[in-house]
């Protein structure tokens, strides 16, 4: 690996305490004495378990610092009390066979107080083995718990920190709990991303936001699995607890930002023969490959992916999610704030499934009776233990939205696959010795003929030029491909049509801001600010450890200056409220269970 790749490998020092500061949330590492949360002298405590003592100690701190009930309730969000009370609430409604209302802050506050009182009045004596420990062992156990756990100063087991341009978020628990953690910890980023996505979706489709809210409520919501309904509602609850006033239909529509404007709206326009300008068939997103066997350096799987999207979205596509769900497999993926699926779909689960995709360009198709793609993609990443599992989950309720070529790897068998999923047709290719690339070109003749307007022979199109370049790079480096070469491939600027280095929308590291003319088969205007916005790479060994390397911004390391671009290209002034700089960070390694790098450690080397 490159010397500039960074991975915090030293033992965690102290705990990572979330600091909420209006529109931002940062994390600082600190050392905390077990008794530091007490305020003033107190009477001797009866004997309690180490965990109970730690929780009660934190509660005393909250009570002492609370100036009023609302402040106290807000403080409880960062303790374990709110998640416990929410679980009690869910069980009450479940037991009584009642459907919980969409908003129930007063009831939650009431349960939070009852939970607090129950904890405070816990029976002092305990019959568990902890009470048999020596007086010296108990303080050591509590100190270790505070040192290694996050319960004392974060949102239950959840936490977040910033690292090399990314925001790392750990989520854990029941579906609603995961949603609350997600919504609360990423509230500023979700609010910002919502504003950006809403502007894009309404501008692109010439529909107002109420149109997408209705589609979310009436078309998407009834087919969403109860598990993910609970998680989406949890995101709303977490946001509202943090003062962000978005509701359930805002969040469901927001989660479908990759499928409603580009797939549903064109289908609806064709069906109703409307004269309203609509979104054109998807041009495709992303460049990726997966290789195995004799094609890679160690004969194991190597997978790499560039996220191609608008720079409005790309500057915000910077979340690393470590999710430990109550059911299914642990998930490690990149993602977008507020979205329950990766959406650019790069990740690995604890069953050994390695997952990525690129979209099918010029695809047309939608089934209003199907299940949203973002739900199926999240479910497949969470529950698939094999390539067959993945295919089965994605086919169940297929609505045609966000139609992709899925590039899959199973580290347990060393097998890789291309799973091309249209609406009318699908096909799976598999091998233990070969490679598959993705650059938005369809491969199945039936998908290409019946479901796209794609031209497979024109070398001037972006997808065809990138397909040719993938074949060149992978063939030239057969037997040498590893993570380091994956990083090099993702930064490539060679245009196979022009036969020279020229970063544009025909190169693997895409730069739409440099594209001087519209490409064949593309509806994007010249100089459209879109392209490769980040890159990720992993191999089988990394997948086993559930880690990958990632680089925020253009994988080539070039920065994007929004102010300069808008000054040079006023035709994109409609983007000015949300178009921001996109700075490239270094290649950095991330792993499950990672915490903030202690401040005493040296800064990582910059590229």
pLDDT band for 285, please (50, 70, 90 cuts). Answer: confident
195 pLDDT above the threshold of 70:
yes
Shared-domain flag, residues 178 and 318: no
Mean residue pLDDT across the chain: 80
Q: How far apart are CA 304 and CA 165, in angstroms?
A: 19
Q: For the domain that residue 381 is a member of, what is the CATH number?
A: 3.60.60.20
Q: Determine the average pLDDT of the residues in 99-106.
A: 44
Among 215, 245, 272, residue at a domain's last position = 272
In a domain, 497, yes or no: yes
pLDDT band at 550 (very low <50, low <70, confident <90, very high): very high
- At 150 the pLDDT is 33
Predicted pLDDT of residue 226: 98
Q: Is the pLDDT of residue 528 over 80?
A: yes
Does residue 102 belong to any structural domain of this protein? no
Average pLDDT over residues 460-488: 97
pLDDT at 272: 87
Indicate whether 460 and 578 sit together in one domain: yes
CA 563/CA 394 separation, integer angstroms: 41
Query: Does 366 fall in a domain?
Result: yes
Q: CATH number for the domain including 187?
A: 1.10.439
Q: Is residue 99 part of a domain?
A: no
Q: pLDDT category, 82, cuts 50, 70, 90?
A: very low
Residues 212 and 331 in one domain: no
349 lies in some domain: yes
What number of residues does the chain have?
607
pLDDT value, residue 137: 32
The structural domain count of the chain equals 2
Give the tens place of pLDDT for each residue, 446-457: 999 999 999 999
Q: pLDDT of 329-368, one tens digit each?
A: 999 999 999 999 999 999 999 999 999 999 999 999 999 9
| Segment 226-259, tens digit of pLDDT | 999 999 999 999 999 999 999 999 999 999 999 9
pLDDT tier at 496, thresholds 50, 70, 90 = very high
Alpha-carbon distance 549 to 594, whole Å?
13
**192 shares its domain with 231:** yes
User: In this structure, are 583 and 501 located in the same domain?
Assistant: yes
pLDDT over threshold 80, residue 138: no
Is residue 235, in this structure, part of any structural domain at all?
yes
Other C-beta atoms closer than 10 Å to the C-beta of 229 total: 18
Strand partners, 431: 416
Whether 304 and 336 map to the same domain: the answer is yes
The predicted pLDDT at position 275 comes to 58
Residues 449, 406, single domain; the answer is: yes
Judge if 396 and 265 occupy the same domain: no
Residue 219 lies in a domain: yes
Tell me, what's the pLDDT at 313?
97
- 299 and 263 housed in the same domain: no
Interior angle at CA 195, CA 193 and CA 196, nearest 5: 65
Q: What is the spatial distance between Cα 323 and Cα 228, in angstroms, rounded to a whole number?
A: 14
Mean local confidence (pLDDT), 526-539: 97
Digit-coded pLDDT (tens) for 374-425: 999 999 999 999 999 999 999 999 999 999 999 999 999 999 999 999 999 9
The answer on pLDDT for 301 being more than 50 is yes
Share of the chain above pLDDT 70, in %: 71
pLDDT at residue number 472: 98
- In terms of residue numbers, what domain contains 224? 174-272
pLDDT of residue 276 exceeding 90: no
Query: Is residue 56 very low, low, confident or very high in pLDDT (cuts 50, 70, 90)?
Result: low
**Cα 428 from Cα 436, distance rounded (Å):** 11
Nearest to 559 by CA among 586, 538, 521: 586
Same-domain pairing of 425 and 497:
yes
Residue 401 · residue 427 · CB < 8 Å:
no
Judge if 398 and 439 occupy the same domain: yes
Nearest residue to 400 via CA among 443, 442, 367, 374: 367
**Pair 374, 466 in one domain:** yes
**HSE-CB of 349 using CA atoms within 13 angstroms:** 29
Domain assignment present for residue 12? The answer is no
pLDDT value for 92? 52
| Boundary (domain end) residue, out of 213, 242, 272 | 272
């Amino acid at each position: 690996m490159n010397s500039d790749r960074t991975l915090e490998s030293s033992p965690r020092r102290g705990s990572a305490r979330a600091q909420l500061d209006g529109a931002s949330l940062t994390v600082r590492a600190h050392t905390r004495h077990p008794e530091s949360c007490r305020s003033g002298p107190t009477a001797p405590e009866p004997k309690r378990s180490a965990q109970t003592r730690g929780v009660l100690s934190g509660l005393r701190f909250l009570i002492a610092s609370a100036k009023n009930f609302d402040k106290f309730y807000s403080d409880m969000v960062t303790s374990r009390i709110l998640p416990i009370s929410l679980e009690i609430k869910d069980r009450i409604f479940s037991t009584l066979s009642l459907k919980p209302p969409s908003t129930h802050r007063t009831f939650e506050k009431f349960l939070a107080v009852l939970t607090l009182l129950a904890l405070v009045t816990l029976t002092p004596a305990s019959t568990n083995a902890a009470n048999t420990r020596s007086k010296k062992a108990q303080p050591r156990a509590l100190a270790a718990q505070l040192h290694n756990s996050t319960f004392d100063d974060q949102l239950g087991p959840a936490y977040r920190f910033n690292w090399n341009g990314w925001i790392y978020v750990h989520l854990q628990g029941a579906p609603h709990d995961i949603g609350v953690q997600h919504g609360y910890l990423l509230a500023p980023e979700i609010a910002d991303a919502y504003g950006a996505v809403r502007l894009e979706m309404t501008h692109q489709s010439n529909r107002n936001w109420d149109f997408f809210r209705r589609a979310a409520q009436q078309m998407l919501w009834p087919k969403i699995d109860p598990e993910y309904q609970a998680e989406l509602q949890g995101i709303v609850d977490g946001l509202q607890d943090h003062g962000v006033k978005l509701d359930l239909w805002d969040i469901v529509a927001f989660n479908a930002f990759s499928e409603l404007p580009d797939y549903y709206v064109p289908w609806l326009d064709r069906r109703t023969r409307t004269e309203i300008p609509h979104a054109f068939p998807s041009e495709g997103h992303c460049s990726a490959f997966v290789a195995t066997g004799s094609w890679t350096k160690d004969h194991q799987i190597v997978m790499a992916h560039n996220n191609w999207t608008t720079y409005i979205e790309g500057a915000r596509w910077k979340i690393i999610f470590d999710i430990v769900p109550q059911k299914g497999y642990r998930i490690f993926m990149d993602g977008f704030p507020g979205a329950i699926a990766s959406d650019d779909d790069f990740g690995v689960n604890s069953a050994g499934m390695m997952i990525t995709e690129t979209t099918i360009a010029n695809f047309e198709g939608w089934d209003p009776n199907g299940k949203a793609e973002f739900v199926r993609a999240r479910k497949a990443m969470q529950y698939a233990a094999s390539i067959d599992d993945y295919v089965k989950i994605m086919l169940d309720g297929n609505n045609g939205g966000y139609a992709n070529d899925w590039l899959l790897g199973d580290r347990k068998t060393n097998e890789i696959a291309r799973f091309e999923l249209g609406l009318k047709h699908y096909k799976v290719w598999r091998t233990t010795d070969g490679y598959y690339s993705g650059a938005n070109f369809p491969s199945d003749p039936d998908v290409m003929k019946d479901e796209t307007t794609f031209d497979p022979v024109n070398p001037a199109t972006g997808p065809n030029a990138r397909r040719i370049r993938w074949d060149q790079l992978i063939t030239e480096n057969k037997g040498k491909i590893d993570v380091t070469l994956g990083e090099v491939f993702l930064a490539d600027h060679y245009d196979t049509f022009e036969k020279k280095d020229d970063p544009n929308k025909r190169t693997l590291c895409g730069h739409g801001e440099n594209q001087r003319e519209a490409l064949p088969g593309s509806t994007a205007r010249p100089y459209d600010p879109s392209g490769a916005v980040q890159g990720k790479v992993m191999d089988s060994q990394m997948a086993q450890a559930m880690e990958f390397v990632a680089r925020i911004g253009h994988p080539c390391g070039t920065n994007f200056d929004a102010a300069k671009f808008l000054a040079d290209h006023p035709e994109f002034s409609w983007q000015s409220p949300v178009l921001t700089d996109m700075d490239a960070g270094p290649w950095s390694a991330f792993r499950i269970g990672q915490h903030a790098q202690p401040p005493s450690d040296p800064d990582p080397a910059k590229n």
